[in-house]
Amino acid sequence: MLQNASLETSLSNISNQPSARSPKVLFVLPAFYRNGAVTFSINIAEQLSLKNMEVEIFAVQQRSVHPQLPHKPIKISTAIRENSSTLKSLPTLLSKLMRSVSRSDVVILTWENGLLLPSLVAFFFRKPVVAIVQNNLKRSQADYGKKKGTQMIRRWAYARAKAIVCTSQDLISTIELEVKRSKIVAISNGINIAQVRALAQQPSAPWPYVNDDIPFIVGIGRLANQKGFDLLIEAHAKVRRQGIQHRLVLVGEGEAHRALLELARDWNVADSVAFLGFVANPYPILSQASLFCLSSRYEGFGLVVAEAAALGVPTIATDCVAGPREILADGQYGDLVETDSAAALSEAIVNHFQKPKRLLAKSRASMAQIERLSLKTCGQKYSRLIHRCIQEGT
């Protein structure tokens, strides 16, 4: 059993050296969606593959829209076609999942709302499970509906997991489940620093407002209530009313697109807000921005904050649970503002445009310390955890 006598300390004593037999690691995803959770899974899978592990990614649906699909030797398995009835396809899904789980040593679950079936199959085959919590479950339940059945399943699955990984330290306190604290460890999501910086140097399409002389703020993420782009649009409008000329560029797609367009019109800033939709390589845009703003109401980590830090982009982030405070080191590497407050965002933006040197100095400092959030560091921690789980079994 993973004892509470500092799981992180005990993990640090486990070697990352290759074992006599390559551990077999299975990731279970809903599909290859374009989101941070899938990007994270692919990145960690690739890191573990480099550490002499046999890695398989099992996607429930055959949906491949993610721009960064993994390459060999990582194995990709899919179960059912996109838009197929899950109920009708259940026998096929179960058969394929059982095959993948049976040949694995550890099962990693990154899908917080799809824990039941893979947990049951892993339990049947006596395979240790590592469940990863990448979101503020309390807030996400408020956004998408608090279903008692979902909570019961999550509680059951987490209680039987060998280890639970929270992607930030603050996220641990949001898990209101009957889970032993000794099972929980915080491992920050990592970024491929060299790749982010290289991609930022690539030629960029002539996006609106990006290559102009007028400064622009960039926001990146899914267009959804969680990301708080309504607050950012309001803050942008309030800053413009103070005579500070700038533009707002939003990168991402999502269900709130139409509502945000209407909001920009309501605030009379439709001519200064650009909605770029999905962009496969957003890093040239991010690197050219005068300011990056994370306006989220809640996060699990806030990967794009770390990416902005790696590029030395001045950053303002809401002090939401969880992630931004950890990444920005309590405000040393960027400004933290009150969550759910357009007024706080606008005040911080005005301060930056009036006195840019202060936040620029913080962003330069962030570049010097970003290695602590590297993908390599993250991969080492997961490697130790997986070896520990294999050693102890279920």
> Using one digit for the tens of pLDDT, what is the confidence trace for 349-392?
999 999 999 999 999 999 989 998 999 999 999 999 999 999 88
Sorting pLDDT into bands at 50, 70 and 90, what band is 5?
Answer: very low
| Residue 152 confidence (pLDDT) | 81
Q: Residue 143 in contact with residue 222, Cβ under 8 Å?
A: no
Q: What angle do CA 392, 55, 22 make, to 5 degrees?
A: 55
- The proportion of the chain whose per-residue pLDDT surpasses 70, expressed as a percent, equals 87
Show the domain range for 202.
193-372
Report which of 295, 327, 299, 224 is spatially closest to residue 37, judged by C-alpha positions: 299
Angle between helices 375-392 and 36-50 (to 10 degrees): 70
Q: What is the CATH number of the domain that holds 331?
A: 3.40.50.2000
User: What is the pLDDT, as a whole number, of residue 16?
Assistant: 53
Judgement on whether residues 355 and 381 belong to the same structural domain of the protein = no
Q: Which residue has the tokens 């990006």?
A: 210
Burial class of residue 296, CB neighbours in 10 A (0-12, 13-18, 19+): buried
Both 125 and 154 in one domain: the answer is yes
315: pLDDT confidence band, cut at 50, 70 and 90?
very high
Q: What pLDDT does residue 239 have?
A: 98
pTM listed for this prediction: 0.86
Q: What is the pLDDT of residues 109-145, one digit of tens each?
A: 987 777 889 999 999 999 999 999 888 777 666 555 5
Sheet bearing 163-166, strands edge to edge: 75-81, 54-62, 24-29, 106-109, 129-133, 163-166, 184-186
- The answer on 225 and 84 residing in a single domain is no
Nearest 5°: the CA angle 140, 144, 147 is 95
Average pLDDT over residues 186-201: 93
Please indicate, yes or no, if residue 249 is contained in any of the structural domains.
yes
Does residue 207 sit in the same domain as residue 351?
Answer: yes
Does residue 2 fall inside a structural domain?
no
Q: Which of 54-68, 90-104, 272-286, 350-364 has the lowest mean pLDDT?
A: 54-68
Report the C-alpha gap between 222 and 91 in whole angstroms: 33
Verify that 43 and 73 share a domain, yes or no: yes
Q: Starting from the edge strand earliest in sequence, which strands make up the sheet with 216-220, in order?
A: 273-277, 247-251, 216-220, 291-294, 315-318, 335-337
pLDDT at 148: 62
Residues 202 and 185 reside in one and the same domain: no
Same domain, 181 and 66: yes
Measured in whole angstroms, the distance separating CA 385 from the mean position of its chain's CA atoms is 20
210 assigned to some structural domain: yes
- Same domain for 253 and 178: no
Same domain, 334 and 204: yes
Considering the domain architecture, whether residues 176 and 259 belong to the same structural domain is answered as: no
Residues 368 and 382 in one domain: no
How many domains is the chain built from? 2
Classify residue 208: in a domain, yes or no.
Answer: yes
Mean pLDDT of 221-225: 95
